[in-house]
Structure 1
Amino acid sequence: MKPSLRACLIWTLIPLLLVSCGREEGYEIRGDKVIWNSWQGDGLFGRWSEAELTESRGFEILQPQGYAKNATSVYHGGRRIADADAATFQMLGKRVDLAKDVKRVYLDGHAIAGADPATFVLTEMFDLGKDKKDYYLRHEPLHVRDMASFKVLEANAWRNDHHIWARDSLDYYAGAKATQISDSATFQVVQSWYAKDAKQVYFGSSVLAGADAATFQGVGGESGEFAKDAKHVYWQGQVVDGCDAATFQVLKLRYAKDSKLAYFCYASGSPPLVLPGSDAKTFEVIGPSSQGFGYAKDAKQVYQGANVITGADPASFVVDPNDPENASDKNRRYRYGEPIK
């Protein structure tokens, strides 16, 4: 057996060996003591740690790696929850991470600020709860001003920066932050990053100053980052200088173009990159690559992502449909955008 393969197998078997030895993270009743077992380190290197919590008499494990209690104290993950009321403490619903006592609601062992345990319930959205006076996004109160009109627009969008996921008659929400709506009757989410009403345009939790609401529209992007109005093209809420808004369009495989130039759009958070010397009139995307972007060409040049393939003949350049890293023209073959000698 090769050394590298032997090492791989050894490290793969370590978790199995640990389990077979009866060690796993969580509470353990050992005689008259309660022990919290935890692994200190990463998946390969570290050691088991034992912490003695309390005596075992009257100790109740509510969830093996989560909540537990005795007559006087409540624990989560081996940590005592300060000021929790053990006499009234109980799990909440079918969730292993939610619990409550007479005073508070807890998520992952931490109190949800301001939540009322008597009226707190879960909503259909996994991360959202509510009580008689407010909604709560995980641990954060939203301070909803109009509870009756509050509605979720996109349940998973709150996890993405700037995405608009809920609204009521007065505000919309990006993350846990509320932004006041200027004209509720005409408010609409344009696409994930952007919204507008009859008076103004919004990006994330901010007003997009200077944008024209009447002509504002979304134009796509991998995460909805592009929009435009009559005057400007916007990328993540920033004006893209030099773009012709009237003709700008997002193409597939991270390319875009307007009447003058073509652009490549990195996924790393960089603004659109102008492809120097590109001819927008003849520019077309011709195929994907396995690296998350694609091939394109115009009358003068061939591109892989933002790079020009030096010497490639655009008139005869084609991408192998069975292997997108292979391409050819009338003169030579290419692999990963480089000529094959």
Structure 2
Amino acid sequence: MKKPFAILIILIFFSCRSEYEKREDKVYYKFWSFGQGGWNEKVLENADLESFSEIKSDDNTYGKDEFNVYYENEIIPGADPTTFKILKKGFAIDAKQAYYYNDSIENSNPKEFEVIDYDFSKNHQNVFYKNKSLNVCSVDNFSFVFPNKDNVLGRWSKDGCHYFYNNYKVPSNDYKNISVYEGSHGISSDKKYVYQFDKNYFDTNNRKVFIKEKGIIVEDTIDIKTFVIENNILKDKFGNINGF
């Protein structure tokens, strides 16, 4: 039973792949919507019918004509149809720069551009998350804190000077004493503060923190020396902290 079921899944997957279609003097992008349970289509406005062709990719979501490159039914601003090349899922280059889906990546030299992993890429000067520059202090020292672990919420990385959650830089000058918490949706801490993304999450001066609970501002305590996150629960020596 397992083999026929696996074959059925594969057939469903390939039958639901996106594609472009020329029809009625227009170009259409056709895609399967699982939410609506059927095929949908969108017209490519102003596409040149005669010169349009699909760019081969794993998911059939790129096309071009004499004048533009398209991701699904949208023009990729500034992309050169003559030199446009798909690298890996989501990433592409032309003679001028790199792209993440239909967004350009500023200051990305295509000759030195390299996909790192998932949503991350780099050149010799910088590391990028999707189309955002991290402005790292060292490309060579850039690494993931939890290697080979993909998280739908985000990923922790570091460059030898700072820690990052996706494209957010932890605003701490105490690099050696920063702790980051896997699966915490961007929470980190050092010897003085707790952060989320690129902002102070808690005001830990005098061990006081103000949080919202049922629409009311209440007062809680936090001990930064014993602060941890376990099973998505914030806690210190005083007990659990209502933070999420």
TM-score with structure 2 setting the length: 0.66
Query: What is the CA–CA distance in structure 2 between the aligned matches of 1:97 and 1:182, rounded to whole Å?
Result: 34
Instruction: In structure 2, list runs of 5 or more residues that go unmatched.
Output: 1-11, 205-221
- For residues 130-157 of structure 1, the C-alpha deviation after alignment (integer angstroms, 9 at most, x for no partner) is 1111111112221223333322113657
Hey, what does 1:280 align to over in structure 2?
none
* CA distance 1:226–1:89, shift in 2 (3 Å): same
Residue 71 of structure 1, CA deviation: 3.5
Hey, what does 2:64 align to over in structure 1?
69
101-110 or 37-46: bigger deviation: 37-46
Residue 40 of structure 1, CA deviation: 9.7
Query: What is the CA–CA distance in structure 2 between the aligned matches of 1:154 and 1:76, rounded to whole Å?
Result: 32
* CA distance 1:172–1:158, shift in 2 (3 Å): farther
* CA distance 1:121–1:99, shift in 2 (3 Å): same
Query: What is the CA–CA distance in structure 1 between the aligned matches of 2:160 and 2:42, rounded to whole Å?
Result: 52
Residue 47 of structure 1, CA deviation: 6.3
The letter of the residue matching 1:139 is N
Hey, what does 1:300 align to over in structure 2?
none
- For residues 33-92 of structure 1, the C-alpha deviation after alignment (integer angstroms, 9 at most, x for no partner) is 662143698524886555573233474533373222233322221322232112221112
Asked if 1:82 corresponds to 2:82, the answer is no
Hey, what does 1:128 align to over in structure 2?
120
Query: What is the CA–CA distance in structure 2 between the aligned matches of 1:164 and 1:24, rounded to whole Å?
Result: 29
Paired-residue identity, %? 17
Q: Helix, strand or coil for the counterpart of 2:140?
A: helix
* CA distance 1:73–1:182, shift in 2 (3 Å): closer
- For residues 306-339 of structure 1, the C-alpha deviation after alignment (integer angstroms, 9 at most, x for no partner) is xxxxxxxxxxxxxxxxxxxxxxxxxxxxxxxxxx
Asked if 1:146 corresponds to 2:146, the answer is no
* CA distance 1:29–1:44, shift in 2 (3 Å): closer
* CA distance 1:192–1:216, shift in 2 (3 Å): farther
The letter of the residue matching 2:100 is L
Instruction: In structure 1, list runs of 5 or more residues that go unmatched.
Output: 1-15, 237-268, 270-341
Residue 129 of structure 1, CA deviation: 0.9
Hey, what does 2:100 align to over in structure 1?
107
Query: What is the CA–CA distance in structure 1 between the aligned matches of 2:72 and 2:93, rounded to whole Å?
Result: 16
Residue 179 of structure 1, CA deviation: 1.6
Q: Among 155, 164, 170, which residue is 1:173 paired with? A: 164
Hey, what does 2:109 align to over in structure 1?
116
Residue 107 of structure 1, CA deviation: 1.8
TM-score with structure 1 setting the length: 0.50
Ranked by relative contact order (alpha carbons within 8 Å, sequence separation 6 or more), the top structure is: 2
Q: Among 47, 50, 54, which residue is 1:56 paired with? A: 50
Superposition RMSD in Å: 3.5
Residue 128 of structure 1, CA deviation: 1.0
Hey, what does 1:220 align to over in structure 2?
230
The letter of the residue matching 1:235 is N
* CA distance 1:68–1:218, shift in 2 (3 Å): same
Hey, what does 1:182 align to over in structure 2?
173
* CA distance 1:59–1:152, shift in 2 (3 Å): same
* CA distance 1:147–1:209, shift in 2 (3 Å): farther
Q: Select the structure of larger CA radius of gyration.
A: 1
The answer to whether the 8 Å contact 2:161/2:175 transfers is yes
The answer to whether the 8 Å contact 2:21/2:30 transfers is no
Query: What is the CA–CA distance in structure 1 between the aligned matches of 2:20 and 2:145, rounded to whole Å?
Result: 40
Hey, what does 1:26 align to over in structure 2?
19
* CA distance 1:25–1:186, shift in 2 (3 Å): closer
The answer to whether the 8 Å contact 1:73/1:85 transfers is yes
The answer to whether the 8 Å contact 2:170/2:195 transfers is no
The answer to whether the 8 Å contact 1:158/1:175 transfers is no
The letter of the residue matching 1:61 is I
Residue 100 of structure 1, CA deviation: 0.9
Tell me the number of residue pairs that the alignment of Structure 1 and Structure 2 aligns.
206
Residue 203 of structure 1, CA deviation: 3.1
* CA distance 1:69–1:235, shift in 2 (3 Å): same
The answer to whether the 8 Å contact 1:120/1:129 transfers is yes
Query: What is the CA–CA distance in structure 1 between the aligned matches of 2:92 and 2:155, rounded to whole Å?
Result: 29
- For residues 196-255 of structure 1, the C-alpha deviation after alignment (integer angstroms, 9 at most, x for no partner) is 44x323232334432544x3242523x2x32204x564333xxxxxxxxxxxxxxxxxxx
Query: What is the CA–CA distance in structure 1 between the aligned matches of 2:43 and 2:133, rounded to whole Å?
Result: 36
